[in-house]
Amino acid sequence: MTIYSSKEQLIKIAKYLSAYMRIPYFQEDSIPGKIMEKIISLVHSAEQLTTYDYVDVCREGDVGWQVKSTKVDTPLTWKRAKIPNSDEMIKESENSSVARQKLGDAIIDFCNNHAKKSLELYNLKEIGYCRLIIDGDVLIYFERLVSSRSSPNIFEKNDYQWVWSEPKKISKKEQLSALHGIDIKTQKKIFAWHGKGENQFHFSGEKYWWPHIKKPEKISEINFSADDHAMAFKLPFKKVSWGTLVGFLNNAS
């Protein structure tokens, strides 16, 4: 079974998301990752996991999915990468390019091994990446194969070189320097590991995975990518009123 949704399944995902966004809310519009995971599990008749494994949703013995949902300008945290002996490795890396590469390689290995563990634990053939991007009143959704039995690594450590950023001042506080992973071919920043703080591993290069897809102009319109692994659609502009929702729930009970 493939990790990719059919066009009919993509349409179903869009309908679930549109329905969710019509629910009255207390805070600004967003779609939590847990909601997105539930939708993927429903559409693919799979299990939504409550673990810290790499896959968030899976059909054991078949395929699994890592699910992410953020606003368009929110930094994407791939995971918290807590590296063994990190204090010592950080100290050595500050004055040695060889030590920096060793630390960067350890971070990449850490992320790849997280996916490999899910491949083995759930006996999966493939792992897909399901991504929702909230861009104002438009939702962009895409799917990507990231790991398989024949090619388990998500990232190749030989593709990156590593440098420490300069500390930045935010208001009166100083932001600790981060270890940046730079693509050797393009010289673009792809990763930022905040190992001197809370070990967040930001994947800024994920934006290069985003599909080139025309934004729709009408609410009823869904635009699909050429390969049908991505879509974009407008959100409904009207929320269901609290009175209508409460009445519906009371009648349903």
pLDDT given at position 250: 78
Q: pLDDT by residue (tens digit) across 50-67?
A: 999 999 999 999 999 999
In degrees, rounded to 5, the angle at the alpha carbon of residue 203 between the alpha carbons of residues 202 and 208 is: 155
pLDDT given at position 66: 98
DSSP state of 41: H
Query: Any idea which of 76-90, 143-157, 238-252 has the lowest mean pLDDT?
Result: 238-252
pLDDT given at position 241: 74
pLDDT given at position 96: 96
Mean pLDDT, the chain, whole residue set: 92
Specify whether domain 7-252 bears CATH 3.40.600.
yes
Q: pLDDT by residue (tens digit) across 203-222?
A: 999 999 999 999 998 887 89
Q: How confident is the model at residue 172 (pLDDT cuts 50, 70, 90)?
A: low
Tell me the backbone φ, ψ of residue 224, rounded to 5 degrees: -110, 150
For the chain, domain boundaries = 7-252
